[in-house]
């Protein structure tokens, strides 16, 4: 079954009143006890989020999975996160994703075939320069394995600058997948001049670059992006500054560089959560990240003003597919000893992907 094929869970789940679904999930959780671990990403909707044993960003949740001895790990996030959990857990543990349509559009923008083709073209154009591949954790297990097999590393939004620094020490160039913006913001923060950063446009010969530009480049960025964070614009920052001179703007580094440059602070979801929590009562924040997290911060900190940076609902619609009815459906099936929506990475891919993940943890 591919990532996008989700069986119809039926009217008994989809049409049941929400209170009933929530009560049944709670009962199932109690029944499974410590044989079950429910992990929820910060962008998850509240109705599902309340059942989390652990909450976090993708890496923190993968670590929670790795440290757990639970037989069943139900990952309320997106596909690549469940893959990372499967890679880091034992063979006797089972990772399940409640709705298989919960993919990440950014991760889907870099397929192994496209990346392998680009890698060869780049090698031919740069005459054998040493290129170190780095992939954002928001990528498929196949891309992580590709990177692991070539001596590269995974990075997250909190350590991208550190991993890039490591990569510069190992080769002449870095090929960064799949998020253009995290790569660009991190290279800029490290002082890499703009003329040494090029964009590889997938589908175009040599990524749309000249041979001279590729030879000069230190950082080659894949042109993937997050459909949520791309919705924040420099104009939103300007609007907020006019409207509220005391506002502090904080954004995720998957936002465009002009947004990050205008913000007061930028960082991972964990860093955003901490910055708001640590700020004094009465602080005003405009936050450039997914709306479920912004709404939660608003509820958690009634003594502060927390708003979305954008006037529009910047929702991760794939993450939003993990509705309580799907969580219950997975749990009901487990109770009948049926493992539906299991996410399983083949051993060869898992070994190579783990090398790239372990390299990051060492860095």
Least distance to ligand SF4, CB of residue 149, Å: 24
- Residue 163 in contact with residue 175, Cβ under 8 Å? no
Minimum distance between the CB of residue 289 and ligand SF4, rounded to whole angstroms? 8
Specify the residue, 59 or 106, whose C-beta has the smaller distance to ligand SF4.
Answer: 106
Cα 310 to Cα 256: distance, rounded to the nearest angstrom? 14
User: Which one of the spans 142-150, 269-277, 314-322, 351-359 is the region binding ligand SF4 (CB under 6 A)?
Assistant: 314-322
DSSP string, 268-312: -HHHHHHHHHHSPTT-EEEEES-HHHHHHHHHH-TTSEEEESSSS
Tell me the C-alpha distance between 57 and 270, whole Å: 7
Q: Which is nearer to ligand SF4, 9 or 104 (CB)?
A: 104
Binding mask 23-62 for ligand SF4 (x = CB under 6 A): --------------------x-------------------
- 138 near ligand SF4, judged by CB under 6 A: yes
Among residues 270 and 305, whose Cβ is nearest to ligand SF4? 270
* Sheet of 197-200, strands arranged across: 153-155, 131-136, 173-177, 219-222, 197-200
163 three-class SS: helix
Stretch that binds ligand SF4, among 18-26, 85-93, 149-157, 221-229 (CB under 6 A): 221-229
CB 89 within 8 A of CB 105: no
> How far apart are alpha carbons 49 and 181 in whole angstroms?
28
Q: Which of 37, 316, 325, 327 binds ligand SF4 (CB under 6 A)?
A: 316
Q: CB 228 → ligand SF4: shortest distance, Å? A: 4
**What is the smallest separation between the CB atom of 96 and ligand SF4, expressed in angstroms?**
18
Under the binding rule (CB under 6 A), the answer on residue 306 touching ligand SF4 is no
Residue from the set 47, 54, 94, 105 that interacts with ligand SF4 by CB under 6 A: 105
290 lies in the site for ligand SF4, by CB under 6 A: yes
Q: Is residue 135 near ligand SF4 by the rule CB under 6 A?
A: no
Q: Three-class SS of residue 181?
A: helix
Burial status of residue 219 (CB atoms within 10 A of its CB: 0-12, 13-18, 19 or more): buried
Binding site for ligand SF4 (CB under 6 A): 43, 78, 104-106, 138, 226-228, 290, 316, 318-319
């Amino acid at each position: 079954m591919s990532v996008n094929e989700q069986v119809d869970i039926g009217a008994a789940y989809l049409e049941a009143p929400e209170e009933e679904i929530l009560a049944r999930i709670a009962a199932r959780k109690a029944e499974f006890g410590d044989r079950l671990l429910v992990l929820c990403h910060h962008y998850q909707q509240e109705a599902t989020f309340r059942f989390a044993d652990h909450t976090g960003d993708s890496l923190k949740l993968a670590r929670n999975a790795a440290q757990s001895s639970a037989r069943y790990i139900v990952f309320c996030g997106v596909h690549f996160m469940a893959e990372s959990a499967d890679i880091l857990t034992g063979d006797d543990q089972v990772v399940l994703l409640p709705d298989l349509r919960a993919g990440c559009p950014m991760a889907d923008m870099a397929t192994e075939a496209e990346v392998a083709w680009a890698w060869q073209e780049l090698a031919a154009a740069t005459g054998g320069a040493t290129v170190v591949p780095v992939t954002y954790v928001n990528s498929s297990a196949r891309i992580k394995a590709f990177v692991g097999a070539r001596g590269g590393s995974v990075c997250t939004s909190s350590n991208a600058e550190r991993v890039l620094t490591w990569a510069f020490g190992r080769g002449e160039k870095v090929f960064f997948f799949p998020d253009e913006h995290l790569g660009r913001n991190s290279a800029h923060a490290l002082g890499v001049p703009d003329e040494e950063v090029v964009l590889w446009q997938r589908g175009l010969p040599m990524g749309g670059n000249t041979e001279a530009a590729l030879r000069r480049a230190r950082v080659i960025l894949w042109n993937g992006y997050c459909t949520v964070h791309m919705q924040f614009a420099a104009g939103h920052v300007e609007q907020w500054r006019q409207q509220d001179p005391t506002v502090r703007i904080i954004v995720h580094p998957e936002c465009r560089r002009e947004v990050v440059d205008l913000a007061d602070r930028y960082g991972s979801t964990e860093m955003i959560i901490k910055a708001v929590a640590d700020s004094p009562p009465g602080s005003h924040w405009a936050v450039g990240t997914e709306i479920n997290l912004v709404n939660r911060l608003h509820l958690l900190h009634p003594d502060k003003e927390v708003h979305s940076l954008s006037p529009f609902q910047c929702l991760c619609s794939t993450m939003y597919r993990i509705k309580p009815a799907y969580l219950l459906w997975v749990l009901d099936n487990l109770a009948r000893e049926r493992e539906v929506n299991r996410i399983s990475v083949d051993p060869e891919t898992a070994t190579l992907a783990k090398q790239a993940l372990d390299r990051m943890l060492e860095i």
